[in-house]
Amino acid sequence: MGRPKITIIGSGNVGATTAHWAAVKELGNIVLMDVVEGMPQGKALDLMEAAPVAGFDCRLQGSNAWEDTAGSHAVVITAGVARRPGMSREDLVEINAGIVRDVARQVARYSPEAVIIVVTNPLDVMTYLTYKASGFPPERVVGMSGVLDSTRLRTFVALELDISFEDVTALVLGGHGDEMVPLLRYTYAGCIPVSQLIPPERLEEIARRTRYGGGEIVSLLKTGSAYYAPGAAVAEMLEAVLRDKKRILPVAAYLDGEYGERDVYAGVPAIIGRNGVEKVLEIQLTPEELEALRSSIRSVREALARISG
């Protein structure tokens, strides 16, 4: 069996950075796909020319033709308009819905066996639209949400305690928006609950910074949104799929009764392997945590209702 084939739709900052992380991990051969002529070709060639120095072996190709994506094992959708200062993720619904639907249909045509990872915002809504437009089983369509949100929480906890980033584990559930639910009870530093190490008021400040972490970066950049951490988060998901690692990751998964919700995508812990979402894990939540999760999911449903036509 040859190397897995990965297609990344959209070669802007998020797409190109995802390709970078995936290449460094040697996850497979990569096709960067974009409607802008020359851009994916240039970025793919530039990244491939780093291979002898960086020490990775995979082929990269830029393309404007769907035919070049055929037979992909995994497809990442980053295509769409990024946030600008003052915009919420929800402001992008109408703009990106048409783009994502068209992309999903093309993916289904050329790579019918692929696992699709959706990155385009508003993420939970776009993941649901991809599921519907592609006709794929829901487990093979998954959104990158909690991995990114959780790595932000992990970063802020590590900085607070002045410890290794590697020693912090965390869960952030719910929609990928300002109503996401950082689960501080399930956040640990070196297997120690962070509530034993950080005062409650500081933990709340960290949770708030996590919820608005994307917006903080948008306001600083002024001309776009985050891409290094999102790209790394997607690469971790790609690795779990392509190497069948059975990782437990917080992702936007299809809910069919879990947490009392049906026919919606939202951030929950799940086992990720070769088939995508292999199992959604239901964990114990306090009444307050469950209500926060359901409130976040209501926001996803409201955004979906605005584009149901």
**Residue 176 annotated as catalytic:** yes
Strand partners, 8: 32, 76
Contacts of 106 (CB under 8 A, 6+ apart): 66, 69
Query: Do 259 and 293 meet the contact criterion of CB atoms below 8 Å apart?
Result: yes
Beta strands in 65-196 (DSSP E): 74-77, 115-118, 141-143, 168-173, 181-189, 192-193
226 SS3 class: coil
Residues 6+ positions from 105 with CB-CB distance below 8 Å: 133, 134
Q: Which helix (H) or strand (E) holds 239?
A: helix 228-242
Catalytic residue, chosen from 176, 206, 250, 259, is 176
Answer left, alpha or beta for residue 179, where phi above 0 means left and psi between -120 and 50 means alpha: alpha
The span from the CA of 200 to the CA of 206, in Å, is 10
Residues involved in catalysis:
176
